[in-house]
Amino acid sequence: MKRISPILIAVLGIIVGALAVTTYNAYRTRKHLYNVQYGQWRKLNLILDQVDQNYVDTVDNEGVTEAAIVAALAKLDPHSVYMPPVEFNEAETDLAGNFDGIGIQFNVPNDTATVIEVIKGGPSEKAGLQQGDRILKVDDKVIAGVGFPQDSMVRRMKGPAGSKVKITVGRGKETIPFEITRGKIPVHCVDAAFMANDTTGYLKLSKFSKTTYNEVSIASLKLLSQGMKKLILDLRDNTGGYFDQALLLSNMFLEKGDEIVYMEGLHRKRDEYKADGKGILKNVALTVLINESSASSSEIFAGAIQDNDRGTIIGRRSFGKGLVQEPLYFSDGSGVRLTVARFYTPSGRCIQKPYSDDYRYDIYKRYSGGEMYDADSIKVDSTAAYKTISGRTVYGGGGIIPDVFVPVDTTRATNFYIACNRKATQMRFSSAMFDRYKGTIAGIEDFDELSKTLDGMDIPGKFKEYASRVDGISCTPQEWKDTEEYLVPQLRALIGRYSKLGDNAFYKMYLGVDTTIRKAIEQE
């Protein structure tokens, strides 16, 4: 072989060196370009694009993308969330005021869906379904006695208005198939509204849906016509809903110019909301019930009432959600609820509790810290002190602290009662009693008549016999004595719910053993 000329080697060296520099410069240029794109929120797209082009196996693009979105939003706050189409639709439907379905309310004692209420004028009533019917099958799917999840039952019965579904029920010894054409079903947020005594009305509000203001207005006018001078508004376990409905509800009780709330965010200028003085309940004394599950719009309302010294807040410290979300809709039916602002009560309080790794387990911390049993155990942020209109001190930084504290009642939790709760004995007993007395109970629409009917059923004796025979749960005479005062009203309420009075019967019969409501009535 001929020897390579030293000149050629030098030339090759220069060329290789130049290529190396060029490659390195190109790398630096590319790296710089990627950095710029990261700063423009494009890093995620770049990564997903590279995965799509180069990953070793087939990629579930949709799954990977949605997982990335969830992870990204998790870095913001606990309430900025992504929801896939099914979840997003269910969340929107729950607050919309109506949904497409067959128009029944049911519970699931003994692993079988039992119809509690057939909504008047709805598809099920028109088809012939009745209270007490056991739902055995939806179309060809058996759902009774097989451990079928309750939320899956609901999904199978729901469907687009105009579509048909076959519901097979057990009624007594008969099995009856019904073909039902689904329709628009109203969703009510006022669970109950009745007079607790001659002058005190009681209203249970489950959520702030699109129909909240209208429903509360109608119920309030009826209570006013019955002599209401004071209202107990029960917002316990009300997790909130639409912001505007909280404003409208607050406006019903406040004088013209009273501040309701204001909200503000980095990209949202301060918006203040005040009452117009036209509310129909301005002259009604007000007590508001809250607990650890009262959140969002419930806290807007409770904060407005408390800061304006308009009423008394009774119960336990509320959840502590002081953030406002706006929905973002995508063409595939999914969506994002993005936090865009904080809301502040009239005194200037932000009641959002601090974010933490165990944020969602805060309620358990309240139990373990003794807050649910003792007002002195409530952790108050003394640096977040504010003044109400009359000069009372209130605190921000983690929910609405009630004016009157009511602890969790554990005094009646006997072993017998706990054992019955574990097996849902009360629910199954009430269903069995309705079966036995259906001809009498189903048509009752008067509280006094219902009470007299229940008095004649020997509920205590029948329940003890049922618990022992069906669930193998027995109690000593002393244990029954310690349990009876609390348990029997619960049984009467559950059975009374099967009457035409529905939830009004349930809540009214439960008043006597509800320590929070008793405390509210004592405030008169």
Q: Which residues have a catalytic role annotated?
A: 296, 307, 321
Show the tokens assigned to 319: 């959840």
Q: How far apart are CA 240 and CA 246, in angstroms?
A: 8
Q: In 3-state terms, what secondary structure has residue 48?
A: helix
Element (H, E) at 166: strand 164-171
How far is 327 from 88, CA to CA, in rounded Å?
10
Question: Which residues lie closer than 8 Å to 516 by C-beta, 6 or more apart?
Answer: 236, 289, 291, 314, 315, 406
Handedness of CA 306, 311, 313, 319 (dihedral sign): negative
Which tokens hold the place of 70?
């969830």
Q: How many CA atoms lie within 13 A of 522 on its CB side?
A: 11
Give the DSSP per-residue string, 355-374.
P-TTGGGHHHHHHHTTTTT-
Cβ atoms of residues 465 and 408 within 8 Å? no
The answer to whether the beta carbons of residues 244 and 214 sit under 8 Å apart is no
| Contact in structure between 99 and 158 (CB atoms under 8 Å) | yes
Distance CA 341, CA 43 (A): 26
Whether residue 262 contacts residue 307, with contact meaning beta carbons closer than 8 Å, is answered with no
Q: Are 520 and 287 in contact (CB under 8 A)?
A: yes
Q: Determine how β-strand 335-344 pairs with β-strand 323-329.
A: antiparallel
CB-side neighbour CA atoms (13 Å) of 492: 28
